[in-house]
């Protein structure tokens, strides 16, 4: 922590400081700089709505996704954070158009996609706060350089670059067995980041709890190494990382385990013998992951559980290459690029538990690829007017799909499905303009983006308690069309504000659609018990959404800063002929109103008090809007005391008021809740 006045915790499009140029690894007083290779930010991207989180906001958050959700409209599929959420619900969505377990936003770390190659979700345990130096949330479809997956927006994470010369180390402990630590060490051209965490968790069911209910215990660890040698006119970064996590899912016998490895290499340089080309980037990456998940059926009165499914492996592999070249022309510049992504994976399961044993086995999966090319240009006119835009064309394929089920006793096949391969071309584009008026600005943008369904959505059925959701190998890509207009203003060191009005249409939205209610036997899915429902992933028509996002913040006296942000979204399903029963309803897990408020107060040198308030309106746990989840208001508090000699002590309280935050509801009315008040204390050491 520093003694100087801090910046606002969340920096809007109007508040963003000048982009940091690409430094080279060099020793400076007290710190080591180990830079990741990459091109500078595009100079005209401020025509599109974006929010930047400063490094202190990220560093003081329990987990990176909790820092990101300070931006209203940014959410995981369910209300709970990744400290308790099943990995399959950890996909991130920007702008509350419609939630999705796979996520409708592309999350990158220094340009490398972090979405799982099989499910599209993000394993946030592999991205500890100590490893992230900055984050930019871009709202709206990310056509152009971002490509497939950036449907409702983009989350651009930057790995930490500046490390104390002897490293930084943190230990913490708290209620319900919470304990962990993280460290960042930089030496020469190498940076190492590691983290561990564990907790005994809390039992999410309160009223109606029975012997079937259990705590959400959790443990995770991660390690990343980045090498950035000084190559003179070239910049190179090689990054290797791995993570593992295991968690109990709130029911006796229900648990999950995830693990993964990733590698990326980035090479950048200046000058090419191609016209006015000035800068270029070449990047390659690979991700291997595996996921295990056991689910159970809940007995009468929640008195017991029975094994329902044992997903003992989901090996997946993702590979990607991207390249870009950037140059200048006239009063602006241009960028040309291409990227290719390939993913393959399958789920391996045992199910249909009868007389003390699983009687069926399943292997389901496939492969997919997306390849695209794009061109972008920007121009600076007179009177502080800038215009930017680009076009992109992608070719997507889904192939080698299979769903094979067999009897584990006789080894005879019981179901063999090999869906037809699918492919298509998808053009997308974006256009934006910005006009500055001294300390104020106006901007407007239009865009088209798309997201192919993940392998998980295409091929993997799943179960939560007595609710079953079937896969659908016939899913088509989602496409989003949008317009937005924004304004903002304010001077450095004074109050600043920004507001955006947007309208979006999400076509062929992938939604979990209710198709049956238990008890009963259904084709393919089999038996659905009493109190459960059967859903299937479907392209359930379109979703129309419009709304307003706004934030305001600045200094408050000499030692305080503050910020208030709000997002209001009217999102409605048009089921058409595909799902007429959904027409006029709100998409599942989509709040209409969300807001946050933050303040940082430094009453004396070395003491920092950070308080955060969050509000989220009601949402529905299901597509039919029958399971209403109440509105929630929570508060967090953190106090840091810099004791000298590089030592900082802190105490933090999440959900300080112990508010009841409803996260789920079953068909028979049993409610689940997010984390109760949790106190933790910690020590940060910079020797």
* Residue 21 neighbours by CB distance under 10 Å: 7
pLDDT for 277 equals: 64
Cβ–Cβ under 8 Å, residues 289 and 270: no
pLDDT for 544 equals: 95
Q: CA-CA distance, 240 to 226, in Å (whole number)?
A: 7
Place of tokens 């954070």: 81
Q: CA-CA distance, 549 to 595, in Å (whole number)?
A: 10
**What percent of the chain clears pLDDT 70, i.e. is strictly above it?**
93
pLDDT for 248 equals: 95
In sequence order, the 6+-apart residues with CB closer than 8 A to the CB of 150 are: 105, 106, 138, 141, 142, 143, 449, 451
- 418-471 pLDDT tens trace: 999 999 999 999 999 999 998 999 999 999 999 999 999 999 888 777 788 888
Span 254-278, average pLDDT: 85
The torsion of the CA quartet 119, 120, 121, 123, rounded to 10 degrees, works out to: 90
In the predicted structure, residue 6 carries a pLDDT above the cut 60: no
In the predicted structure, residue 585 carries a pLDDT above the cut 50: yes
Name the residue ranges covered by the structural domains of the chain: 10-685
Q: CA-CA distance, 78 to 154, in Å (whole number)?
A: 19
DSSP-assigned letter for residue 20: P
The residue ranges of DSSP E strands in 116-271, in sequence order, are 132-139, 153-159, 162-164, 168-174, 178-187, 190-199, 218-227, 230-231, 234-248, 255-270
pLDDT for 35 equals: 60
pLDDT for 24 equals: 31
pLDDT for 17 equals: 35
Residue 32's pLDDT band, with cuts at 50, 70 and 90, is low
pLDDT for 44 equals: 67
Cβ–Cβ under 8 Å, residues 120 and 91: yes
- 377-418 pLDDT tens trace: 999 888 889 999 999 999 999 999 999 999 999 999 999 999
Cβ–Cβ under 8 Å, residues 222 and 242: yes
Return the closest-CA partner of residue 390 out of 41, 42, 21, 40.
42
In the predicted structure, residue 183 carries a pLDDT above the cut 80: yes
b/e code 189-201 from CB counts within 10 Å (16+ = b):
bbbbbbbbbbbeb
Please give the mean pLDDT across all residues of the chain: 88
Residue 630's pLDDT band, with cuts at 50, 70 and 90, is very high
Domain 10-685 in CATH: superfamily? TonB-dependent receptor, beta-barrel domain (2.40.170.20)
Helix or strand (DSSP H, E) at 59: helix 55-59
Cβ–Cβ under 8 Å, residues 542 and 505: yes
Q: CA-CA distance, 584 to 568, in Å (whole number)?
A: 18
Q: CA-CA distance, 685 to 182, in Å (whole number)?
A: 11
The residue ranges of DSSP E strands in 250-331, in sequence order, are 255-270, 277-298, 305-313, 316-329
* Residue 562 neighbours by CB distance under 10 Å: 18
pLDDT for 27 equals: 36
User: The tokens of 73 are what?
Assistant: 């409209």
Cβ–Cβ under 8 Å, residues 152 and 480: yes
- 208-224 pLDDT tens trace: 999 999 999 999 999 99
* Residue 17 neighbours by CB distance under 10 Å: 10
Give the Å distances, CA to CA, from 129 to 60, 63, 68, 196. Answer: 8, 6, 11, 12
Provide the residue count of the chain.
687
Q: CA-CA distance, 444 to 431, in Å (whole number)?
A: 8
In the predicted structure, residue 69 carries a pLDDT above the cut 90: no
Q: CA-CA distance, 54 to 68, in Å (whole number)?
A: 11
**What percent of the chain clears pLDDT 90, i.e. is strictly above it?**
63
Span 29-55, average pLDDT: 72
Residue 291's pLDDT band, with cuts at 50, 70 and 90, is very high
User: The tokens of 506 are what?
Assistant: 């999400």
In sequence order, the 6+-apart residues with CB closer than 8 A to the CB of 307 are: 253, 294, 296, 297, 353, 358
Cβ–Cβ under 8 Å, residues 648 and 609: no
Return the closest-CA partner of residue 460 out of 345, 567, 560, 304.
345
Pick the range with the lowest mean pLDDT from 150-154, 254-258, 404-408, 490-494. 490-494
Between 123 and 39, residue with greater pLDDT = 123
Q: Is the peptide bond before 519 cis (omega within 30 degrees of 0)?
A: yes
b/e code 480-493 from CB counts within 10 Å (16+ = b):
bbbebebbbbbeee
Q: CA-CA distance, 152 to 450, in Å (whole number)?
A: 9
In the predicted structure, residue 182 carries a pLDDT above the cut 80: yes
């Amino acid at each position: 922590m520093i003694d100087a006045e801090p910046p606002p915790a969340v920096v809007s499009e109007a508040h963003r400081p000048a982009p940091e140029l690409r430094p080279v690894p060099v020793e400076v007083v007290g710190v080591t700089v180990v830079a990741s290779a990459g091109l500078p930010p595009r100079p005209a991207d401020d025509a599109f709505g974006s929010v930047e989180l400063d490094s202190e906001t990220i560093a003081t958050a329990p987990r990176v996704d909790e820092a990101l959700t300070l931006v209203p409209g940014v959410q995981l599929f369910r209300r709970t954070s990744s400290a308790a959420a099943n990995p399959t619900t950890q996909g991130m969505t920007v702008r509350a158009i419609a939630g999705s377990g796979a996520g409708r936003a592309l999350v990158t770390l220094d340009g490398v996609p972090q979405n799982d190659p099989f499910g599209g979700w993000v394993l946030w345990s592999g991205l500890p706060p100590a490893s992230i130096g900055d984050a930019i949330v871009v709202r709206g479809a990310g056509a152009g350089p971002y490509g497939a997956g950036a449907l409702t927006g983009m989350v651009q994470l930057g790995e930490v670059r500046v490390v104390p010369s002897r490293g930084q180390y943190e230990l913490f402990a708290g209620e319900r067995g919470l304990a962990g630590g993280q460290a960042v060490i930089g030496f020469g051209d190498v940076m190492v980041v590691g983290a561990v965490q564990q907790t005994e968790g809390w039992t999410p069911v309160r009223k109606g709890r029975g012997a079937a209910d259990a705590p959400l215990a959790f443990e995770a660890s991660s390690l990343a190494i980045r090498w950035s040698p000084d190559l003179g006119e070239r910049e190179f970064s090689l990054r290797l990382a791995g993570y593992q996590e295991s968690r109990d899912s709130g029911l006796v016998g229900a648990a999950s385990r995830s693990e993964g490895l990733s590698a990326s290499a980035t090479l950048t340089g200046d000058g090419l013998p191609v016209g006015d080309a000035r800068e270029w980037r070449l990047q390659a990456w690979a991700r291997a992951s595996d996921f295990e998940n056991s689910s159970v059926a809940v007995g009468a009165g929640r008195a017991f559980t029975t094994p329902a499914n044992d997903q003992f492996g989901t090996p997946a592999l993702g590979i990607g290459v991207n390249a870009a070249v950037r140059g200048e022309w006239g009063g602006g510049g241009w960028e040309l690029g291409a990227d290719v992504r390939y993913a393959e994976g399958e789920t391996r399961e045992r199910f249909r538990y009868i007389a003390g044993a699983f009687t069926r086995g399943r292997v389901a999966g496939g492969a997919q690829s997306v390849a695209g090319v794009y061109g972008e240009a920007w121009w600076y006119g007179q009177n502080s007017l800038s215009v930017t835009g680009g076009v992109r064309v992608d070719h997507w394929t889904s192939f080698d799909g299979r769903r094979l089920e067999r009897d584990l006793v006789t080894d005879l096949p019981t179901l063999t499905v090999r869906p037809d391969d699918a492919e298509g071309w998808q053009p997308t584009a974006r256009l934006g303009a910005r006009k500055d008026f001294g300390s104020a600005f106006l901007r407007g943008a239009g865009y088209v983006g798309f997201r192919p369904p993940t392998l998980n959505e295409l091929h993997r059925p799943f179960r939560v308690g007595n609710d079953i959701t079937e896969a659908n190998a016939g899913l088509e890509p989602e496409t989003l069309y949008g317009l937005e207009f924004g304004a903002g203003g304010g001077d450095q060191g004074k109050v600043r504000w920004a507001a955006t009005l947007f309208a979006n249409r999400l076509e062929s939205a992938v939604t979990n659609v209710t198709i049956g209610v238990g008890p009963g036997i259904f084709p393919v899915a089999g038996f659905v018990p009493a109190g459960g429902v059967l859903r299937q992933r479907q392209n359930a028509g379109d979703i129309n959404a419009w709304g307003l996002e706004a934030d305001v913040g600045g200094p408050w006296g000499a030692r305080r800063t503050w910020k208030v942000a709000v997002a209001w979204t009217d999102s409605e399903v048009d089921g058409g002929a595909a799902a007429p029963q959904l027409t006029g309803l709100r998409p599942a897990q989509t709040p209409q109103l969300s807001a946050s408020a933050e303040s940082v107060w430094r009453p004396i040198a070395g003491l920092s008090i950070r308080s955060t308030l969050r509000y989220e309106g009601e949402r529905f746990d299901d597509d039919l809007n029958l399971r209403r989840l109440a509105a929630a208001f929570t508060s967090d508090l953190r106090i840091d005391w810099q004791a000298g000699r590089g030592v900082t002590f802190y105490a933090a309280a999440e959900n300080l008021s112990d508010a009841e935050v409803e996260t789920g509801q079953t068909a028979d009315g049993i409610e689940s809740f997010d984390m109760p008040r949790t106190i933790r204390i910690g020590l940060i050491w910079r020797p």
